[in-house]
Chains A and B, each alone.
Chain A
Amino acid sequence: MNDAVLIDEQAVHRAAAAVPDPELPMVTIEDLGILRDVTVSADGRVAVTITPTYSGCPAMEAIAADVREAVETRGATAVEVRTELSPAWTTDWITEEGRRKLVEAGIAPPAPVGDHNRSGLQARSGPVQVAISPRCPRCGSPRSRLVSRFGSTACKAIYACGACGEPFDYFKAI
C-alpha cells in the first residue's frame, strides 16, 4: 500500500452520475447524456468531462460545481471538471431511463434525431422540421400543436394537447 488515498473509481463515477440537472431535477446528468467521462488516475486525480446541452445553458456552472462537490465527498481532493463542446450533445444521448422520468414529470421526450446528426452536421440543410407532433404526456393523445419553439429553458418547446387541452413542455430534438 502506498500513501495515496485510494479512490474507488466506480463510486466516483456513481457519485458524478447521480448529480441532478438543476433545471430538470427529476433527471440526472447521466440520464441526459451530459456526463461524458470520469477517470481516476493512478495518483488519485479525478477528471470529469461534461458537455453542455445548449451553448448558453446557464445550468452548466451549477452542474460543474455540483459534480465537484459530489466527487469530493467520495474522498477525491484533486478534481478537474472539463467542459467539452465536441462531439456536440444530442438528445439521442438521453437514456431510456431519462426519457421515462421526463414523461413522468409531464415533459414529452425528444423524437430521435438519427444518424444524420451524429455523422456530420453538413448533411443537414434547411430549417428544422417540427412537423411530427409529440404525444401528450398527460393523456397520451398524439394530437398536439406547437405553441412556441422556445420554452422555459433552452432545451424545451411548448406544445398544447389537442385532446385534453393541457399545455406541456416538449424536450426539443437536437
Chain B
Amino acid sequence: MSGAPTAQLPPVAQYALRLGDDALILAQRLGEWAANAPELEEDVALTNIALDLLGQARVLLTLAGKIEAAGRTEDDFAFLRDERDFVNIQLVEQPNGDFAQTIARQLFFSAYQRLLYERLADSVDPTIAGVAGKAIKEVDYHEDHAAGWTRRLGNGTEESHRRMREGVDRLWPYVDELFRTDELEQRLVGEGIAVDASGLREEWHKRVTTVLDEATLTAPESSWTAPGGGRQGVHTEAFGYLLAEMQHLHRSHQGARW
C-alpha cells in the first residue's frame, strides 16, 4: 500500500526512513556489482556489504511503518514510494562509476555511518540504538575494506592512482550534505533520539584525510558543492533510474513474495 508523503509522517518515522533509505539505496547500488566486480573476491565483498546495509534498512523501514501505524510494511516503503518520498542523502545514489569511484563512495559513507552509529547506539529509541549498536561492528569492516582499497589504488600504478583521484574528486561535492542538519533532526536531538550530523564533520574529515594521505591523495581544495536536498526528497538524475530498477518487479507483480 502507498501511504502519506514522508514529510507528513511522525518525526521519528521520518528519521528512521532517513537512516533506512541511506542503507537501502547504497545496498541497491552495491548490488549492481554482482557478477561485475573486477575480481571474484570483490564481487563477494561488495555484495556482502550490500547485504549488511539491507539488513539495517529492513529494521529501520519496519520501524517507520510501526510508528506510522497505518499498516505499511518494509516492502511498501521500499517499493511503493515515489522518488520525492525517499529521504536518503544524494551521495549513496551516485552511480557506481568504475571500481575506484565505488570505493571512494564507500569510504566516505562508511566513515560517516561509523561516526553516526557510534553515537546513535546511545539513542533513547531502543530500535534505533539496537540497529546502530549491531551495525557498527559491520561498518568497521566496510570502512576498513574501503580504506584498504583506497590505499592500494592510490599507491598502485599511475592508472590506478588517477582513477582513485577521479573517484574522490567526482564524489567530494556530495560530502557536505552528510553534515547538514535541519529542524526535524534538531528536534529529535533534543529528545535524545537523533544525532546532530553537523557535529560529525570535523572527525569525519580527520578520518578520511588520514586515509587519503596514506594513499598519496588529497581532498580537492576548491570544488563545487552539490546543492543537496536528499533529506527533503530532492534527488539527482541517476536516482530515478535506480528506483525504476529496484521497484519494477514489485510494482509489476503486487504482493509477490519469495
Given contacts A87-B133, A124-B140, A148-B41, 11 further A-B contacts (CB under 8 A): A56-B51, A85-B59, A86-B126, A88-B130, A88-B133, A127-B143, A127-B147, A128-B141, A130-B144, A150-B48, A150-B49
A86 touching B44 by the CB < 8 A rule? no
Q: Is A44 an interface residue (CB 8 A)?
A: no
- CB proximity to A under 8 Å, residues B8-36: none
Q: What are the residues of chain A within 8 A of B55 when measuring CB–CB?
A: 52, 54-57
**CB-CB under 8 A for A86 and B118, given A121-B137, A127-B144:** no
Q: Is B81 an interface residue (CB 8 A)?
A: no
Measuring CB to CB, which residues of chain B are less than 8 angstroms from any residue of chain A? 41-42, 44-45, 48-56, 58-59, 118, 121-122, 126-127, 129-131, 133-138, 140-141, 143-145, 147
Q: Is A149 an interface residue (CB 8 A)?
A: yes
Measuring CB to CB, which residues of chain A are less than 8 angstroms from any residue of chain B? 52, 54-58, 84-90, 117, 121-122, 124, 127-128, 130, 147-152, 154, 158, 172, 174
Q: Which residue of B lies closest to A148 (CB)?
A: B41
- Interface of A, helix, strand, loop or mixed by DSSP: loop
**Distance in Å: Cβ of B42 to nearest Cβ of chain A:** 8
A55 touching B144 by the CB < 8 A rule? no
B126, B133, B147 — most chain A CB neighbours (10 Å): B133
Q: Which 7 A-B pairs have the closest CB atoms?
A: A56-B55, A55-B55, A85-B130, A127-B144, A150-B45, A56-B51, A148-B41
B136 touching A55 by the CB < 8 A rule? no
- Alpha-carbon distance A154/B134, docked complex (angstroms): 14
Q: What are the residues of chain A within 8 A of B49 when measuring CB–CB?
A: 150
- Alpha-carbon distance A130/B44, docked complex (angstroms): 18
Q: What are the residues of chain B within 8 A of A117 when measuring CB–CB?
A: 137
B141 touching A149 by the CB < 8 A rule? yes
Across the A-B interface, how many residue pairs have beta carbons closer than 8 Å? 92
**Distance in Å: Cβ of A115 to nearest Cβ of chain B:** 15
A172 touching B44 by the CB < 8 A rule? no
Q: What are the residues of chain B within 8 A of A124 when measuring CB–CB?
A: 136, 140
**CB-CB under 8 A for A121 and B133, given A152-B44, A174-B138:** yes
**Distance in Å: Cβ of B187 to nearest Cβ of chain A:** 24
A85 touching B45 by the CB < 8 A rule? no
**Distance in Å: Cβ of A13 to nearest Cβ of chain B:** 25
Q: Which residue of B lies closest to A85 (CB)?
A: B130
- Alpha-carbon distance A109/B208, docked complex (angstroms): 32
**Distance in Å: Cβ of B125 to nearest Cβ of chain A:** 12
Can you list 21 A-B pairs, Cβ within 8 angstroms, ordered by A? Answer: A52-B134, A54-B52, A55-B135, A56-B52, A56-B53, A58-B51, A86-B126, A87-B133, A88-B133, A89-B134, A121-B121, A121-B136, A124-B136, A127-B143, A148-B41, A149-B141, A149-B144, A149-B145, A150-B141, A174-B137, A174-B138
Q: What are the residues of chain A within 8 A of B48 when measuring CB–CB?
A: 150-151, 154
Q: Which residue of A lies closest to B131 (CB)?
A: A85
A121 touching B52 by the CB < 8 A rule? no
B141 touching A86 by the CB < 8 A rule? no
B45 touching A128 by the CB < 8 A rule? no
B42, B121, B129 — most chain A CB neighbours (10 Å): B121
- Alpha-carbon distance A86/B122, docked complex (angstroms): 12
Q: What are the residues of chain A within 8 A of B56 when measuring CB–CB?
A: 55-56
**Distance in Å: Cβ of B120 to nearest Cβ of chain A:** 11
Q: What are the residues of chain A within 8 A of B41 when measuring CB–CB?
A: 147-148, 150, 158
Q: What are the residues of chain A within 8 A of B54 when measuring CB–CB?
A: 55-56
Q: Which residue of A lies closest to B39 (CB)?
A: A148
